[in-house]
Structure 1
């Protein structure tokens, strides 16, 4: 069963990729709001979350984050990372840049050892304010699940019909210090076979990784409930073989 985050601040939870993570949800607490409609999204399908959809207010985010950090630091359990994730795409928030500024100031004052991470699908990189904000965080983690537009349309269902892997790759190349994140899976959804683990897929993806030259790559597979129930998790050993091919390019790669 898919699920939503019903609070602005959630956790901390133990993240497979990031350590002890305090989550920040900028999206509506009662519904999902995203520029993708991924077949594996733990929040479910976009259509399952009708309007009204309201972003969480900047001041409320700041107030609740400050309270959570003070509480955790006082208890001797500061988070390793403050992670922007939640019910959709965080960079859609109209105040994303100023919220990142607020967060960095709170981090520096209250919990300077914590890193700030953003999990993003990279659809808003055409907005200069989003690029500036991502350039300031410790871990800008950007999604790219395939080198092929057709596969991205099957896996991620971008809501913008003009979405282009080539355009996103060019934008990623200009983002210093970014981390590339890729979900590998196979199975069937809507009567279509989906598999981004074939040699054709992996080889083309590796070419794109080489071109983008991220500081790190994260590869992972299914770990939570998905709205499409006929998807298959890729074994860890197979992910490790893909990771080894990334590292052969001179780029660190983690498997989660």
Structure 2
């Protein structure tokens, strides 16, 4: 099941390079903050398509239209993610305060216990946030459904906690591998050009600067958007795996 999700999402994300470039252009101005919400809003549309679709279906990539609606969806996504991640942060801070006001080995033990509990809460919070977004999309964007804890837990129970966590871990690994491989290939190519330039007695610094710029552009306009769509599609399809 998990491999089928990855296969579908990898192929789906590569359907239209023009869409990747458009998303990359928006990402380019994400430092202005407002465009960042458009990026998360677009990824939410990818999730929405997935939760209403099937694995290996013929779902098209979402269109870049209704910008205000996409922006609002992006804001909702960010709020959901922040609120779920506040829980482990609060747990960590509570234990940290208690540990600071405790002396000796008891302080270290309390801090260790706090870190373990906070980490578990973080894993659960990430999973609940992602499935909460899928649940919100499945229920026509109803914001309250992102926090319908019992309903979301039932979804995860039906899919399987192990399967959900394994899928997300797999997404992290695949994302890191693809990013690393692309950067490594570009690095090797321009390193070879740089060494060749140096052998000829020329200054290779311009080659290395160009390599850095090419790597940044490819990451910004192709790899980054591709991976964001890949992750969103995968999570949406995972949601559809309910019994």
TM-score normalized by the length of structure 2: 0.22
Q: Point out the structure with the larger strand share.
A: 1
Q: Point out the structure with the larger helix share.
A: 2
Q: Name which one, 1 or 2, has greater alpha-carbon Rg.
A: 2
